[in-house]
Amino acid sequence: MYLFRGLKEQVQSYLDESQVETIQQSYIFARDAHEGQLRSSGDPYITHPVAVAKILASLHLDAQTIMAALMHDVIEDCEVTREQISELFGDRVAMLVEGVSKLTQIKFRSRQEAQAENFQKMMMAMVEDLRVVLIKLADRLHNMRTLGALKTEKRVRIAKETMEIYAPIANRLGMFAIRRELEDLGFAAQYPMRCRVLKESVRKAAGNRKEIVTSVTQNIHSRLEAEGIDSEVDGREKSVFSIYQKMLEKTGVFKQVMDVYGFRVIADSEDNCYRILGQLHNLYRPVPGRFKDYIAIPKTNGYQSLHTTLKGPYGLHIEVQIRTSEMDNLAENGVAAHWIYKNSTDVNRAEVNAREWMSNLLELKKNTEDPLDFIENVKIDLFPDEVYLFTPNGSIIELPKNATPVDFAYAIHTDVGNSCIACKVDSKIVSLSSILINGQTVEIITAPGAKPNPGWLSFVATSKARTNIRHFIKNLRRDDAVDLGRRLLEKSLGNISLDSLGKEVIEKVKKETHKEKFDDILAEIGLGQTASVIIAHRLVPSVEDVIKTHDNSNRPLAIKGTEGMMIEYAKCCHPVPGDSIVGTINAAGGFILHRQDCNNISDHESKLDKYVPVQWEKDVEGTFRVELKVEVVNRHGVLAKVTNLIAEDGANIANINIDTKDGSTNQLSFLIEVKGRLQLANLIKRIRTLDFVLKVSRNR
């Protein structure tokens, strides 16, 4: 009987004597039924149902739920029938026990697998009586807490099922406290190493954090006290799993995740929540775009709170949740909050929402004949952060929210991603960057030889796409380097074309330079690691004469503007298409373009060997940076007028600097992006027409 004592004390605190009595009877019934059975840990089996009942009692659930929790494994594990339970404890309790038993028989391997029927069974059991799921969640929570006694393989399977099925259900029902614990336990069981490392890092960071948390808590508290607002303030500790998730989502850098501090302020009325918000925005500067009013517009699971992010001391981000204690109880326990007051006027919004959701499920069940349709609809509800899409032949691809056709292409296969050029969504051509929506059928159009576009990195949502594009760019840079190296080498070879050289010559140079491929040599030239002149000399010893006598008219290297990282535009003179240019290789081996009249290369005419003649191609692509210095009369609104004019002209402004020369004049420096010399000349002309402009010049 001693096992029952703790539970008895719990239920006595909120149930009446006769209810406690029937609960005790159900305990005795379950204990006798499980007599002789042991858990993997070696404990008597009855300790498990008692622990499950205690979890539910801590949520103040009703007597029937507690009784069913105590007996939840007797049909499954002992030879007890539903009828026996019904006779002894009533039909309702028997139904709950049977419902939980049915759920226990359902094993989910993963949610990707189309186990439509199992899923449907589970949802239907839930719809029949919500309490079935509450018992099942408590059951799972206790099993997760005592997972250690199981074999690794079983432990991992249960952990995975918990993460993929039960935690999202707890979330949908608004039961965050249980969800959080399920996720942390599941994470620890699935990735023991990662979890251990993270926990250790959290422990190490704890010292510093404590100081900051204490000081911010005090600041908030004293401000609110001074304003006469009653409240409780506390610093929230992040769960290990939520840190891990944030790291996956964002930068992957532990410190950046830990630099965000969470606080919760509990107010005594809804009205005060908004007053507190006002005070906090006055105390610390709010971060724009981060305020959310879930009090006026609750989340689908009933969650209510105000969210805001503030710039705290040392520039740290402070995330604050403001809510009343009722909202807080609801946020932690969801549908299970206030269960006992069901007949009072205190409406539990989470429960109302859950019931609404369930009647929708029933409706849906009636209207969908195909269990697959049903499951897809339910999944959308349960996993709102995912989208489910179809391939033209009907397979389902699951992607995170905000995924694009490029993500979809990579999800099918890396090769499909690498060679995709266009996309049809529901038979219409759409842009590769458009955001996909649940239920769409997506067809990826590929072309042989097509290449991923580095620009895709700015919109892809999956790590698979990101990794593959990055990997490709790395190789692409090599292609760029090889291409540039070839052009530099041909330049150095003067009138001799590379293709006209004999195989033996190429082989000889490969051997001399210890390179396997000639492309490796070209790449090194392109990357500036080897001077093209040296290789040219190795290929054709007589080439020296060519180099010495060459001049600018002799096949200068053509610049297309698409060389990417292989060519750098000098920051002293900022050459743009149309300018006369000269190329040089710097000490670090990079290829740099200067304007011919740049002060830094005044020796270029006397030292031909140091410089490479270059010229612009006819049609150069891209935009180029130029530094403009504008001397103006120091007058109000001058800067705005010049920037407006530049913007009107379609040039991008990358940076602005203001120098006060003396009291009466200012020197404005603009770093702007233009297409070429013509656009720049026109822009300078227009700036000169402004009456307050004294001088406009380009830096060199």
**Catalytic residue of the set 76, 128, 270, 293:** 76
- The one segment of 133-141, 349-357, 533-541, 671-679 that binds Mn ion by CB under 5 A: 133-141
Size of the site for Mn ion (CB under 5 A): 2
User: Which is closer to Mn ion, CB of 74 or CB of 280?
Assistant: 74
For the question of residue 77 being annotated catalytic, the response is yes
SS (H, E, C) 536-592: HHHHCCCHHHHHHHCCCCCCCEEECCCCHHHEEECCCCCCCECECEEEEECCCCCEE
- The one segment of 66-74, 358-366, 474-482, 565-573 that binds Mn ion by CB under 5 A: 66-74
Q: H-helix or E-strand containing 595?
A: strand 591-595
Q: What does the chain come to in residues?
A: 700
Distance of CA 15 to the CA centre of its chain: 46
Query: Does residue number 139 form part of the binding site for Mn ion (CB under 5 A)?
Result: yes
Q: At closest approach, how far in Å is the CB of 352 from Mn ion? A: 29
Q: At closest approach, how far in Å is the CB of 158 from Mn ion? A: 12
Q: At closest approach, how far in Å is the CB of 29 from Mn ion? A: 16
Q: How many CB atoms lie within 10 A of CB 230?
A: 12
- The one segment of 65-73, 123-131, 231-239, 666-674 that binds Mn ion by CB under 5 A: 65-73
User: Which is closer to Mn ion, CB of 59 or CB of 593?
Assistant: 59
Q: H-helix or E-strand containing 241?
A: helix 240-249
Closest Cα partner for 566 from 483, 674, 625?
483
User: Which is closer to Mn ion, CB of 85 or CB of 484?
Assistant: 85
Alpha-carbon torsion angle 81, 86, 91, 95, nearest 10: -20
Q: Which residues of 463-484 are buried (b: 16+ CB within 10 A; e: fewer)?
A: eebbebbeebbeebbbebbbbb
User: Which is closer to Mn ion, CB of 55 or CB of 167?
Assistant: 55
536 contacts 501 by C-beta, under 8 angstroms: no
| Cα–Cα distance, 305 to 331 (Å, whole number) | 8
- Binding map of Mn ion across residues 226-255, x = CB under 5 A, - = no contact: ------------------------------
Distance of CA 337 to the CA centre of its chain: 31
Q: At closest approach, how far in Å is the CB of 136 from Mn ion? A: 9
Spatial neighbors of 178 by CB under 8 A, at least 6 apart, are 137, 138, 141, 170, 333
- The one segment of 22-30, 67-75, 178-186, 559-567 that binds Mn ion by CB under 5 A: 67-75
Please measure the distance between the N-terminal and C-terminal CA atoms of the chain and give it in whole angstroms.
Answer: 92
User: Which is closer to Mn ion, CB of 97 or CB of 389?
Assistant: 97
Structure tokens at 414: 């890396």
Look at phi and psi of residue 427 and say left if phi exceeds 0, alpha if psi is from -120 to 50, else beta.
left
Task: Tell me which residue has its CB nearest to Mn ion.
Answer: 139
- The one segment of 132-140, 432-440, 541-549, 603-611 that binds Mn ion by CB under 5 A: 132-140
User: Which is closer to Mn ion, CB of 77 or CB of 443?
Assistant: 77
**Catalytic residue of the set 62, 77, 270, 520:** 77
Q: At closest approach, how far in Å is the CB of 138 from Mn ion? A: 9
Structure tokens at 148: 């250690």
User: Which is closer to Mn ion, CB of 75 or CB of 403?
Assistant: 75
Q: At closest approach, how far in Å is the CB of 48 from Mn ion? A: 6
User: Which is closer to Mn ion, CB of 139 or CB of 627?
Assistant: 139
Judged by CB under 5 A, the chain residues 499 through 518 that form the site for Mn ion are none
Reduced to 3 states, what is the DSSP secondary structure of residue 658?
strand
Beta strands in 174-304 (DSSP E): 231-236, 260-267, 285-286, 292-293
Q: At closest approach, how far in Å is the CB of 336 from Mn ion? A: 18
- The one segment of 69-77, 79-87, 173-181, 319-327 that binds Mn ion by CB under 5 A: 69-77
Reduced to 3 states, what is the DSSP secondary structure of residue 301?
coil
- Binding map of Mn ion across residues 333-372, x = CB under 5 A, - = no contact: ----------------------------------------
Reduced to 3 states, what is the DSSP secondary structure of residue 149?
helix
At position 453, the amino acid (one-letter code) is N
User: Which is closer to Mn ion, CB of 49 or CB of 334?
Assistant: 49
294 contacts 304 by C-beta, under 8 angstroms: yes
Q: At closest approach, how far in Å is the CB of 49 from Mn ion? A: 7
Q: At closest approach, how far in Å is the CB of 120 from Mn ion? A: 22
- The one segment of 71-79, 384-392, 474-482, 563-571 that binds Mn ion by CB under 5 A: 71-79
Write down the H helix ranges in 34-81: 47-58, 63-70, 74-77
- Give the residue numbers annotated as catalytic, written as ranges: 76-77
Q: Which residues bind Mn ion (CB under 5 A)?
A: 73, 139
